[in-house]
Amino acid sequence: MSFTGNEGEQITLQEGADYTLRYRSANPSAKKGVFFGKNHFDKIFAQGDCKGVRFYFAQNEDGSPTLVMVGADSNENDLLNVIVERAVACPPTCGSINPLNDGGSSR
C-alpha cells in the first residue's frame, strides 16, 4: 500500500464527542488534547512528497503523554527533516467548552 493523501475518514461531531468522552472517562487526569500551530504543518507539508502527517504517541520527561508529529511520504516513510512536539496542552488551553473538550464532563 502507498499513501495517497486521502487516508483517514471525516467523522461527525457526535462521533468525535463520543470518542473523546470515552477517553476522558477512562483517563480523567490526562490531557484532553494538544494544539500544534499551522506553521508547523506548513513546514511538514512543504517537504517533497509529503502526503500527510503521522502522530507518534510519546511521553514527556514528567511522564505525561504527548504526540510527536512528522510528515509521511507516498511510500509510507517518515520525513525526518521536520519533527514537531511541545504542543500546547488542553487543559489549560482548551478554548470554549464544546462537545469535543467537555461533552458533559467537568473541565
Rounded mean pLDDT, 71-80: 95
pLDDT mean over 63-89: 91
Residues 98 and 82: beta-carbon distance below 8 Å? no
C-alpha dihedral (9, 13, 17, 20), degrees to nearest 10: 30
Q: In terms of pLDDT, which residue wins out, 13 or 107?
A: 13
CA distance 83 to 57: 13
pLDDT of the residue at 18: 92
Is residue 95 pLDDT above 60, yes or no?
yes
Instruction: With cut-offs at 50, 70 and 90, classify the pLDDT of residue 104.
Output: low
